[in-house]
Structure 1
Amino acid sequence: MATARALSDFSRSSLLHAAFAVNTTLILAFVYLLFTEASVGAPRYAIYGVTWVGVGLWVLFDTTVTPASTATKRKAAAVALGYFALLAVAGGLITSPVPGGDGGLRVAFLPPGWGPALIYGGGVFNLVLMPARVIGYAALAYLVYDTVVEAAGAAVSGVVGLFSCISCSWPVIASFATSVFGGGTAIAATVTVLSYDLSTAVFLITVVLLRWRPGFGK
């Protein structure tokens, strides 16, 4: 009975957090479209962008980190920051400068979720900070942080256990794979056309796997 009640409370809490995340995302998207020059564009891309933001906010609102010592949490934070940095590079938040590209800071009014994007062009690196990617990668990093904290208390090595599970490592591998295929091959064309579809699918499945965490007692 106690277990059933706990599961019921957890489900109710998660649903409330999900509703809050969805409502917040939709309100922000509506205000963004109303007061800027942005447009929805292709509906599918707008849906993907809103999905990234909504799911990312839900993860950040709903994830309760496993209790642990301060030292463990510091180590987990270092791993999570490194993981976010990998995603930022693999996912295109941080790129090398483009010869002849626009320099300085500007805002791009992309479809909801992907915009407003803060873009910086510099001589050393470029930044393309789209809300969907920033919030989505932050959510994944936070789930990784919780995973490392939990794994540190288990009978496995936190870091080894983390990167031996595909649910943690495959969004990085998938992002790098889409950038490795170059040239005019059919694979490259397919990856380019379906990049938003594939990245959204990888993001959603990774969220599910990191929340469930098979092999970590979840």
Structure 2
Amino acid sequence: MSRVATARSWSIPAPARTAVLALGVQSALALAYLLATDAGLAAPTMLAIPFVWLTVAVVAVRHADRPTVGRPGRWIAAAVGAAYVLGLAWLIGAVGPAMGPATGVDLVLLPPGWGPVLRFSGVGVAFTLVPYRAAGVLALGYLVSLSVRNVVEEGLSAGVGGLVAVGSCAGCALPLVTSLAGALTGAGLSVGAAPTVGGGTYVLGTAAYVLAAWLLAARPLRRYTTR
């Protein structure tokens, strides 16, 4: 009897493929941004932070479980997600009351991912959008809405895992309060300069963000609450 050896089939997991694609697109966009503007580069650790946030956001949103619910459930989930985005943006200082006269819109050219920063100051309201943080907060809001769908679909007991993940997300905002409070004022990120000060705070906030995104996308506690 002859024995035919067969090679073990092996493939790259889908989330890993998504991450590689996301990194490739970000690298191309960053290179184009650097060639088209006078923005400089940051220290390696600080330069890597936006890449981590954006890659995690893309992977989490692309591969998160999407519970099927009726239209009322989708609207409820969307409303909770939107409220979460606004609340988190307010907490980290990305959106808030205007502190002076209206100055309109302007752009600040910072290193890739950190910039271009879009700033707006109007009558009574102002916002500062750092690209990677804006994408990260929107991703968290979408993931929160998916967790709420679990509650709508399977009941409160089945959605406990998702709700715990929602609560854990608040933790990712805490390290950002200090770092973004100093952003564009010299404490964490100076206008026209590369981000160098307060790197430890940014790294801590990044670690908390990765954990929160994983909890919301994978919802690992859900398996213990759906028996």
What corresponds to 2:6 in structure 1?
none
The AA in structure 1 aligned to 2:80 is: V
What corresponds to 2:208 in structure 1?
202
Where 1:194 maps in the other structure, the secondary structure is helix
Q: TM-score, normalised by structure 1?
A: 0.78
* Structure 1 unaligned spans of 5+: 1-7, 181-190
Where 1:206 maps in the other structure, the secondary structure is helix
**Residue 162 of structure 1, CA deviation:** 5.0
Higher relative contact order (CA closer than 8 Å, sequence separation 6+): 2
Shift in CA distance, 62/162, structure 1 to aligned 2, threshold 3 Å:
closer
The AA in structure 2 aligned to 1:65 is: R
What corresponds to 1:142 in structure 2?
142
Shift in CA distance, 115/103, structure 1 to aligned 2, threshold 3 Å:
same
Shift in CA distance, 157/103, structure 1 to aligned 2, threshold 3 Å:
farther
What corresponds to 2:218 in structure 1?
212
**Residue 62 of structure 1, CA deviation:** 2.9
Shift in CA distance, 29/85, structure 1 to aligned 2, threshold 3 Å:
same
Q: TM-score, normalised by structure 2?
A: 0.75
Q: Distance in 1 between matches of 2:40 and 2:56?
A: 22
Higher alpha-carbon Rg: 2
What corresponds to 1:94 in structure 2?
95
Where 2:220 maps in the other structure, the secondary structure is coil
What corresponds to 1:84 in structure 2?
85
**Residue 11 of structure 1, CA deviation:** 6.7
**Residue 113 of structure 1, CA deviation:** 0.7
Greater shift, 153-162 or 83-92, is seen at 153-162
Shift in CA distance, 204/164, structure 1 to aligned 2, threshold 3 Å:
closer
Q: Distance in 2 between matches of 1:205 and 1:114?
A: 21
Shift in CA distance, 153/159, structure 1 to aligned 2, threshold 3 Å:
closer
Q: Distance in 1 between matches of 2:66 and 2:10?
A: 17
| Counterpart contact for 2:148–2:163, Cα < 8 Å | no
Shift in CA distance, 178/131, structure 1 to aligned 2, threshold 3 Å:
closer
The Cα offsets for residues 134-155 of structure 1, whole Å up to 9 and x where unpaired, read as 1111111111111111222224
The Cα offsets for residues 145-204 of structure 1, whole Å up to 9 and x where unpaired, read as 111112222241688875554433323455457789xxxxxxxxxx95633122111111
Q: Distance in 1 between matches of 2:12 and 2:67?
A: 18
The AA in structure 2 aligned to 1:149 is: R
| Counterpart contact for 1:53–1:131, Cα < 8 Å | no
Residues paired across the two proteins, number: 200
What corresponds to 1:115 in structure 2?
115
Q: Distance in 2 between matches of 1:25 and 1:68?
A: 33
| Counterpart contact for 1:89–1:95, Cα < 8 Å | yes
**Residue 41 of structure 1, CA deviation:** 2.3
| Counterpart contact for 1:97–1:124, Cα < 8 Å | yes
Q: Distance in 2 between matches of 1:135 and 1:23?
A: 17
| Counterpart contact for 1:162–1:168, Cα < 8 Å | no
Greater shift, 109-118 or 91-100, is seen at 91-100
The AA in structure 2 aligned to 1:26 is: S
**Residue 77 of structure 1, CA deviation:** 0.5
Alignment of 1:10-21 (within 5 A): 12-21=13-22
* Structure 2 unaligned spans of 5+: 1-8, 182-196
What corresponds to 1:187 in structure 2?
none
Higher helix share: 1
Q: Distance in 1 between matches of 2:94 and 2:33?
A: 21
Where 1:106 maps in the other structure, the secondary structure is strand
